[in-house]
Amino acid sequence: MDIDLARIEQAAATIDPVFLNTPQYVDDRLSEALRRTVTVKLETANPIRSFKGRGADFLLRHLEPRGKVVCASAGNFGQAMAYCGRSHGIPVEVFVAASINPDKRARMEALGATVTVAGPDGASARAAAEDYASRNPGVRCLQDGREVRVAEGAGTIGRELAAIDDLEAVVVPVGDGALINGIGTWFKAKRPNVRVIGVNAKGAASMRESLRAGRAVSVPEVDTFADGISIQTPFDVAVRRAREVVDEILLVDDEQIGAAMTLAARTLGVLLEPAAAAGLAAIAAGDVAQRRVATVLTGANPRPEQVRALAAELAR
């Protein structure tokens, strides 16, 4: 395993404090609705409304030599790279799919990143970022899910959650795998009796299929409104890490995710994007057997039409 516990400790001591020690608490109404004790970790309470700032800051803080970087993103990692690039004086260009959430694109640009639309989907954006770096000496392509310091930065969430004494399972949305791999590494070393459960969108189950195959595999297509976890092919290294620290991957469909978004809004007063509600959706579906669980609410950057749909649902 290349994810290092000492570097997770280093990340906890050096990452911009604005991203660290986010609220984690039990909400009685939510726990009653889910019929178990659920601790929520609110990773939306920071300037980019996403957990991605932890890994991006740890990555760019230690980048040598410094120079322009490129990445591919559905939006939240791009925002994190833009925010942290601005903080560390590193130019950032983000390659995105044509279907990018317009609010996420506007935020990346407002934070100083160059945003380049590259093809119809995330796979096209990833390939374009790699190609650009290969053709431009001195430019580095840094990809979420692949870079070990991104996973180690995310591992600080596991370090914080591990303070919950009676925790039985942690339930984590899974896209490229950086979040669950960082969290899982910490728990397997420090709290091995806590089950590490990932959640894929049913329409983008690439990590589950990869773990079943024992290697990175592609799903034929992705079909989910949870763009933050809409990954067609995970990186090989992300799958290798996950095989060591993830106990299982559950699936939830878009209807279940939408219901979880509504539940979070009604009980927590938090407007989640779909990917962030995947863990809640799996718990609500009854697929998690443990009675004392935690889940990470990973982001609050929904698309404009998702905000309108949720507002209409709450008004009913």
CA end-to-end distance (rounded Å), the chain:
49
Classify 308 as helix, strand or coil. Answer: helix
| Residue 219, pLDDT score | 96
- CB–CB of 185/151 below 8 Å? yes
CA-based diameter of the chain, in Å?
56
Domain ranges, ordered by start, for the chain: 5-49+147-315, 52-141
Residues of the chain with pLDDT > 70, as a percent, come to 100
Please state, in angstroms and rounded to a whole number, the distance separating the CA atoms of residues 57 and 196. Answer: 25
**Neighbour tally for 106: CB within 10 Å:** 12
pLDDT range class, residue 316, cuts 50, 70, 90: confident
- How would residue 314 be classed by pLDDT, with cut points 50, 70 and 90? confident
55-107 per-position pLDDT tens digit: 999 999 999 988 999 999 999 999 999 999 999 999 999 999 999 999 999 99
Class of domain 5-49+147-315: alpha beta
Does the fold of domain 52-141 match that of domain 5-49+147-315?
yes
Report residue 83 as tokens. Answer: 């925010």
Q: Which two tokens stand for residue 301?
A: 């950057």
Average pLDDT estimate for 280-291:
97
pLDDT recorded at residue 315:
82
The whole-model pTM stands at 0.96
State which H helix or E strand residue 122 sits in: helix 122-135
Instruction: Determine the average pLDDT of the residues in 255-269.
Output: 97
Q: Which helix (H) or strand (E) segment is 36 a member of?
A: none
Alpha-carbon distance 58 to 60, whole Å? 6
> Is the separation of the CB atoms in 15 and 156 below 8 Å?
yes
Fold of the 52-141 domain: Rossmann fold (3.40.50)
